């Protein structure tokens, strides 16, 4: 659904959020004419265990975003 959302959206800008994401603080997604992207510097180790099990190799990046 996320990948195809641009083909059904009628607005120029729209927000797609994962089902397991809860926004608990106010967020800005656009400021000073630029899009803002939020990243974190930590990850759940389980993500990388599952990645290795599914793909048979280690993830190329040290954190998930």
Give the pTM: 0.46
- Which residue is associated with the tokens 């641009």? 6
What pLDDT does 64 receive? 64
Spatial contact of 29 and 15, defined as CB atoms under 8 Å apart: yes
pLDDT tens for each residue of 28-41: 888 999 988 877 77
Please list the pLDDT of the chain residue by residue as tens digits (65 residues): 778 888 888 888 888 888 888 889 998 888 999 988 877 777 888 888 999 999 999 888 777 65
What pLDDT does 56 receive? 96
Spatial contact of 54 and 48, defined as CB atoms under 8 Å apart: no
Please state, in angstroms and rounded to a whole number, the distance separating the CA atoms of residues 30 and 8: 21
Q: Three-state DSSP class for 34?
A: strand
């Amino acid at each position: 659904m996320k990948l195809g959302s641009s083909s059904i959206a009628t607005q120029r800008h729209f927000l797609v959020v994962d089902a397991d994401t809860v926004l608990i603080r106010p967020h800005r997604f656009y400021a000073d004419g630029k899009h803002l992207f939020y990243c974190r510097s930590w990850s759940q180790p389980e993500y990388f265990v599952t990645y290795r099990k599914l793909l048979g190799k280690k993830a190329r990046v040290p954190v998930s975003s």
